[in-house]
Structure 1
Amino acid sequence: MSEESRKGQLDLGINRQPEKDRNFHLGGRSFYFFDFDDNIAFLTTPLILFHKDTGAEVMISSGDFAQYHQSIGKSGPYADYTMDFNDETGTFRNFRDLNLSDAEKLNGKKQIFVRDVAEALGFPDFQWKGPSWECFYHATFNQRPLSVITARGHHPDTVKEGIRVFVKNKLLPLEPNYLSLYPVSHKATRIGLGDVDLSQGTAELKQRAIRASVEKAIELYGYNAHHRFGMSDDDPKNIQLIVEEMTRLKSRFPEMSFFMIETQHGNFIKHEVKNSGLAGEKIENLSQLSFFEDDRRKS
């Protein structure tokens, strides 16, 4: 059997058996919340900064933006640059949907996100698979309730279409069991999260999306003290506010378990949010099959 065939069998889960939730016998479920960029996958979608004096554009990656965005225009390598928040011409224009005509759709033109996912798959796995890819695969394969909470501003259907590219290319065996989809810069999504005047920042909106997802999980699957929730993200500010939100949720639902998975700089650090604070564990050289298990299997 060729290497490519073996890889396809692994991706499709042919040699893997579905696993029940760790607390299935107690009625508990495991809920997986993912940021997309630099967590599930690395895409080449650029952000655009503008020189303060000349207006000249410079493109930066989402990883660099996560690292430097708090110092843009102030200090560091982008001290002389600024952001523009116009959805069509500004910094995040590639993270928003295009206004495609019916004719363009009929001719097969895709949204930027869908095209960028397809383009990423032309690179070797180690270049596009993010640090939480194996967790994402594990959750999808076992049909765990799954939420995508991303700073992108695409329509939720566009995010689904992009993830469907993984399925079409046999990198996922089936589509995720979506609990919720929150691209928190999408205007209708923001309003649905209560940001009616569009004034909240990304991290605050992710807090609201986490809270809404936990509430939806309890609504759909019932209240159970053995439910477990985990969220992965790479942005330091987002991580801080996600922990704050999970701390509030832990206080509200003290019997349930909450985990923050920190994936910045290529690390995979699992923090359990406890009433007494955080308990952190850095994971190395292991396949992150699950946010929650202590005995992860090697790939």
Structure 2
Amino acid sequence: MELPHVTSALDEALARFEGARLAFVDGVWVNESVRGRDLKYYIFDWDDNVLCMPTRIHMERLNSKGQWVPHVCSTATYSVIRADTAHYRFPQGRRELAFVEFQDTRTPLGGGNFLEDLDRALDAIAAGRRTPPPSFATFRKTLVEGRLFAIVTARGHASETLRQGVERFIERVLTPVERETMLINLRGYSYCFDHVQTFPSQTAVLRRYLSLNRYHAITSPDFDRRLAEEAPGLTTQEGRKRFAIRDFVDHLIRILDTTGMAALRLPISIGFSDDDPRNVRAVQAYITDVLSRRFPTVKFCVYDTSDGAGAHKMTISGQLELPLE
């Protein structure tokens, strides 16, 4: 995706960096001030947290006559009913039949439509039919600032599908000024910490940034294969999310060590947001019992966005202020 070069957008973006230290390198602007920027990173659940996707879940419900009947529901509804196994179940007891629309393979019942569903979700926001979910603005700001992030979702798509979704989000949501601002920040990180002196194209800068992030669909075949090698027997959604979160934290620490950013001794903060209270409780316990002990210098914060309107913050270690309140 080649981002358009709009002079007026670039001029407006540069005006937003008032007081920052900018450099003109290889014919483009870079933000040298990122060298002293706080090290904040983010982990996002996707559905009903970043976007309210129209993807449906195919369940069965026990009706008043004692019969199991088809019941199609949204992800928001599923987060409420999934613990009620007395009244709701997977068709034939098979999870893959319930979540057939949450995979890349197209079937008669659905599936393979992640980018189409993403477009429909963004169309609903643009038309005013739906309010952006609680973490929509934070995710947008994360991209503009060029901060690293992870998508950790219970979907079954390939990581590349999720990455393409983020690229589509950038293409459709960020304004020309925000895209220019993002590129100036991204070049700043490459210039300051990777000692990059040449910037071939906007597309190359963006693709490198997207490649540094993590995209974990925890029910995907790829994720299953990885768990079989590294954590066999891990079957619950909460356990899989914990594994994905740990992977991202380890990934971040490696990057900080490799680039020398860790030597700056700046505070490291990681925020996690999810709309499913069950996941929130599991992650909160995992951070308290495991991550905060393994990474005592990292500040963790969990945001419960289940009410759909805002976020309830739970600080586990240190203090991280996310613009969710």
TM-score (norm. length: structure 2): 0.68
CA change 1:48–1:15 in 2 (3 A) is farther
**Is 1:70 aligned with 2:63?**
no
Note the C-alpha offset of 1:92: 0.6
**Is 1:229 aligned with 2:242?**
no
SS at match of 1:124: helix
In structure 2, what is the equivalent of residue 139 of structure 1?
A: 142
Stretch of structure 1 that moved more, 151-160 or 14-23: 14-23
CA change 1:274–1:87 in 2 (3 A) is closer
Alignment of 1:206-225 (within 5 A): 206-222=241-257, 223=262
Give the counterpart letter for 1:235 in structure 2: D
In structure 2, what is the equivalent of residue 272 of structure 1?
A: 315
CA change 1:66–1:216 in 2 (3 A) is same
Give the counterpart letter for 2:81 in structure 1: Y
Stretch of structure 1 that moved more, 224-233 or 50-59: 50-59
Q: Which whole-Å CA distance do the structure 1 matches of 2:255 and 2:15 have between them? A: 31
**Is 1:96 aligned with 2:103?**
yes
**8 A contact 2:269–2:298 mirrored in 1:** yes
Q: Which has the higher contact order (CA 8 A, sep 6+)?
A: 2
Q: Which whole-Å CA distance do the structure 2 matches of 1:21 and 1:203 have between them? A: 39
Q: Which whole-Å CA distance do the structure 1 matches of 2:132 and 2:15 have between them? A: 21
Note the C-alpha offset of 1:38: 0.6
Q: Which whole-Å CA distance do the structure 1 matches of 2:51 and 2:316 have between them? A: 25
**8 A contact 1:250–1:258 mirrored in 2:** yes
In structure 2, what is the equivalent of residue 61 of structure 1?
A: 74
Q: Which whole-Å CA distance do the structure 1 matches of 2:312 and 2:32 have between them? A: 22
**Is 1:164 aligned with 2:159?**
no
Note the C-alpha offset of 1:163: 2.4
SS at match of 1:56: strand
Note the C-alpha offset of 1:120: 1.6
Q: Which whole-Å CA distance do the structure 1 matches of 2:69 and 2:48 have between them? A: 26
CA change 1:13–1:47 in 2 (3 A) is farther
Q: Which whole-Å CA distance do the structure 1 matches of 2:315 and 2:286 have between them? A: 13
In structure 1, what is the equivalent of residue 41 of structure 2?
A: 31
% identical equivalent positions: 21
Q: Which whole-Å CA distance do the structure 2 matches of 1:165 and 1:214 have between them? A: 25
Q: Which whole-Å CA distance do the structure 1 matches of 2:99 and 2:237 have between them? A: 12
Stretch of structure 1 that moved more, 48-57 or 126-135: 48-57
TM-score (norm. length: structure 1): 0.74
CA change 1:48–1:274 in 2 (3 A) is same
Give the counterpart letter for 1:38 in structure 2: D
Give the counterpart letter for 2:149 in structure 1: L
**8 A contact 1:152–1:184 mirrored in 2:** yes
Q: Which whole-Å CA distance do the structure 2 matches of 1:146 and 1:13 have between them? A: 23
**Is 1:111 aligned with 2:112?**
yes
Q: Show structure 2 runs of 5+ residues with no match.
A: 1-8, 21-30, 183-205
**8 A contact 1:21–1:30 mirrored in 2:** no
Q: Which whole-Å CA distance do the structure 2 matches of 1:13 and 1:124 have between them? A: 25
**Is 1:243 aligned with 2:284?**
yes
In structure 2, what is the equivalent of residue 285 of structure 1?
A: none
**8 A contact 1:150–1:183 mirrored in 2:** yes
SS at match of 1:70: coil
**8 A contact 1:225–1:255 mirrored in 2:** no
Q: Which whole-Å CA distance do the structure 1 matches of 2:249 and 2:148 have between them? A: 11
CA change 1:235–1:21 in 2 (3 A) is farther
SS at match of 2:271: strand
Structure with a larger share of its residues in helix: 2
Q: Show structure 1 runs of 5+ residues with no match.
A: 1-8, 101-109, 280-290
Equivalent pairs counted in the alignment come to 255
SS at match of 2:303: strand
CA change 1:24–1:14 in 2 (3 A) is closer
CA change 1:67–1:243 in 2 (3 A) is same
* CA-to-aligned-CA distance 1:22-74 (integer Å, 9 cap, x gap): 9953x852111100001101011110112467653211110111112101x32
Which structure's CA Rg is the greater one? 2
Q: Which whole-Å CA distance do the structure 2 matches of 1:252 and 1:225 have between them? A: 18
CA change 1:51–1:43 in 2 (3 A) is same
Give the counterpart letter for 2:297 in structure 1: E
CA change 1:28–1:15 in 2 (3 A) is closer
Q: Which whole-Å CA distance do the structure 2 matches of 1:83 and 1:187 have between them? A: 19
